[in-house]
Each structure stands twice: as C-alpha cells, then as structure tokens.
Amino acid sequence: MANAIRFYETGGPEVLRYEQVAVGEPGPGQVRLRHAAVGLNYADTYFRNGTYPIPMPNGLGVEAAGVVEAVGEGVTNVDVGDRVTYTGFINTLGAYSTERLIPAAPLIRLPDSISCETAAAMTMRGLTSAYLMRRIYDFKPGDSILLHAAAGGVGLIVAQWAKLLGLTVIGTVSSGAKAELARAHG
C-alpha cells in the first residue's frame, strides 16, 4: 500500500484526504515509481478548486522524482532502479503519493549529479526555460530580453541562462528583496 493525497470533490484544502491506496503492477507502457521528492506547484490548487476540471476522484500533483520499481510491457526508455523525474499536466496527476503507476513516456532519467529533490523542485521550470531559451527565438549575444517575474522559478533559471549566452536581461519584480534576488542570478 502507498500513501497518497486524494480528493473527491473540488474546493479548498479541506477536500484533500490522506489515504492508503493499492498501487498494483504496471500495465503496458507504465512503470511503478517510488517517489523520493514531490514538486509543489501553484497549478495544483487549480486542479483542487476546479479551475482546471478533472475527473473525480483524483490525486494531486504533477511533478516529482523517484526510483523506478517495476516496468510494464513495452517500456524501453527506463529500467528498474533508474532515478527519474517528470512533470506534466492531467496525464501525470497523482504526484502527491509515496508510490504510483505512471506512463513511462514522460519520464526523464536523472544524472547522478542531480538529486531527486532538485529535480522535483525544478523540472517544470527547467523545461519551460529550455523551451523559451531554445525554441522560441534564436538568441544571439547582445540581444535583450524582458523577463517578467525575474525572481520566480522560471525567471531565475532564464536569467542565469541568458547571462551565459551574453544577453541583456531587463527584469521586473514586485519588491526590493525580489530585485536583489534577481540581480544575484543575472
């Protein structure tokens, strides 16, 4: 049995339940994953309160990292014992759990140099940053970017990346303390 946060109706935090759930064996294209760390994202509140409609009952959380415990038929991208991370949206709900079944396709193997805690905290932000920095526009040294929420999760990664690329970063923040944090990161 695994422990998981589940909810059966939308609402505030009071709708969340801490439960024991049976996990079972992975089916075709799935793995059983033991979580080592779970990412907390503001979007999780949108699932819980109904802003993002989902079928009920459901689990909560879209981002985590852990160790593959078992693989289902046809899984070739990860093996038992691999440390992995994932982020997503509806197809990955259920991260707030100690163990779960999940499609293998969105899993990203972790190098030894990245802890599960770091991966769970920044996979979504890192992939968003990579998309912005490498797929939207072909930045060249000397280009300027305007970065809103420069002290947020994505902002801090993008600012550091932009600095490495030789870009000029103009950042917006909501307080002096956030301005200092953003400056410290590029």
- Rounded Cα distance between 45 and 53, Å, is 11
What pLDDT shows up at residue 10?
A: 97
What pLDDT shows up at residue 186?
A: 80
What pLDDT shows up at residue 181?
A: 95
Is residue 170 within a helix (H) or strand (E), and if so which, with residue range? strand 168-171
Please state, as a whole number, how many other Cβ atoms lie within 10 Å of the Cβ of residue 59.
20
Token pair recorded at residue 55: 């079928």
Query: Rounded to two decimals, what is the model's pTM?
Result: 0.86
How would you classify the pairing of strands 99-103 and 30-38?
Answer: antiparallel
Question: Across the chain, what does the average pLDDT equal?
Answer: 95
Please state, as a whole number, how many other Cβ atoms lie within 10 Å of the Cβ of residue 26.
22
Q: If you compute the radius of gyration of the chain from its CA atoms, what whole number of angstroms results?
A: 19
Q: How far is CA 14 from CA 7, 9, 20, in A?
A: 9, 10, 18
Q: Which residues pair with 71 in a beta bridge?
A: 31
Quick: pLDDT tens for 14-61.
999 999 999 999 999 999 999 999 999 888 999 999 999 999 999 999
Residue 39 · residue 123 · CB < 8 Å: yes
Could you give the 3-state DSSP secondary structure of residue 37?
strand
Residues in the chain, pLDDT under 70: none
What pLDDT shows up at residue 92?
A: 79
What pLDDT shows up at residue 66?
A: 98
What pLDDT shows up at residue 151?
A: 95
Amino acid present at 58 = N
